[in-house]
Amino acid sequence: MTPLQNKIDFAVILRVKNANPNGDPLNGNRPRTDYSNFGEITGVSIKRKIRDRLLERWVTNGKNDDGDMIFVQSDDRKADEARSLRERAELVLGKDLGAPRTAEKACGKWIDVRTFGQLFALKSNKKAGKKKDDGSDDEGDTGVSIGIRGPVTVQSAFSIEPIDITSTQITKSVSGEGDGTKRGSDTMGMKHRVDQGVYVFKGSMNPQLAEKTGFTDTDAKVIKQILPGLFENDESSARPAGSMEVLKVIWWKHNCKSGQHSSAKVHRTLAVNPDGSYSLSNLQGLTPEEIDGF
């Protein structure tokens, strides 16, 4: 299929209410904030949700779309029996794993690889410290890393205003062993939430890099279709159903591969208000498509 022919920029406006959109494990799982107390959802977290929605789509389609499999799957949403990324790569690529065709075959099999890219770090089959025939030390083959640079980039989401975080003390364990008279040492815990906030994240699709991975216009349309429902089927204790929603997706499709304007200039045309409303400035020859959240 023909790779992406037109540069695309996009932005997503979302609302968080009484939820922890992205906890920081190094800070007691409190919602992430920057030094000015603006809320943050990392690009890695957003791409995880995109992958989950893509995986659900693949399963719904009966797992018949051979090129729409997901390589980086969540442990709680796996659609195969692979126990690691290495095992999944070996099951699908077989003898081609580590061969010159690794990148080509990986991009053809997994939509998230040709979308976001992937690093295949392959270990050596040799043992370090083995003696050569001449008696010298052989440090062994250190292996090879095959890097695939993806055409789709996603920025972190930041809140429009500084956020308020509420912390609640909870009971997180009960007596699970013995005669029930003793509880674990970690009985009490803390649960954190963002009371309310409007966030925005932005992204771009690069046709030049799409030529390398085989990312197509059809793939771009799939991403466009799942963004409005990014938080559906993403419920958890930290993010109850309905606590996170996409308000609007703004989609700019340029008329050429290089783009009529820089991504920075395009993204700056969007001004979002604390209540989730927004305004768009005009750029010559570029008309944004405004898509309602699911």
* Phi-psi map region of 63: left, alpha, beta (phi>0 left; psi -120 to 50 alpha): left
d(C-alpha 105, C-alpha 107), whole Å: 5
Q: Residue 143 pLDDT > 80, yes or no? A: no
- As a whole number of Å, the CA-based R_g of the chain is 23
Query: What share of the chain has pLDDT > 90, as a percent?
Result: 68
Residue 91 vs residue 150, higher pLDDT:
150
Domain assignment of residue 204, yes or no? yes
Q: Residue 35 pLDDT > 80, yes or no? A: yes
| Identity of residue 34 | D
Among 86-100, 144-158, 233-247, 261-275, whose mean pLDDT is lowest? Answer: 86-100
DSSP strand pairing (144-149 vs 8-19): unpaired
Domain assignment of residue 55, yes or no? yes
Residue 200 vs residue 174, higher pLDDT:
200
Q: What is the pLDDT of residue 140?
A: 47
Burial, 96: exposed, middle or buried (Cβ in 10 Å; 0-12, 13-18, 19+)? Answer: middle
For range 58-67, the mean pLDDT: 80
Domain assignment of residue 50, yes or no? yes
What residues make up the domain containing 168?
A: 8-125+145-292
Domain assignment of residue 134, yes or no? no
Domain assignment of residue 136, yes or no? no
- Report the helix count and the strand count for the chain, using DSSP H and E: 7, 16
Domain assignment of residue 139, yes or no? no
Q: What is the pLDDT of residue 262?
A: 96
Domain assignment of residue 61, yes or no? yes
For range 50-56, the mean pLDDT: 95
Q: Residue 44 pLDDT > 80, yes or no? A: yes
Q: What is the pLDDT of residue 158?
A: 98
DSSP strand pairing (30-31 vs 23-24): antiparallel
Across all residues in the chain, what is the average pLDDT?
89
Among 1-15, 36-50, 69-83, 167-181, whose mean pLDDT is lowest? Answer: 167-181
Does this model's pTM top 0.75? My answer is yes
Number of domains in the chain: 1
Domain assignment of residue 117, yes or no? yes
Among 101-105, 165-169, 175-179, 189-193, whose mean pLDDT is lowest? Answer: 175-179
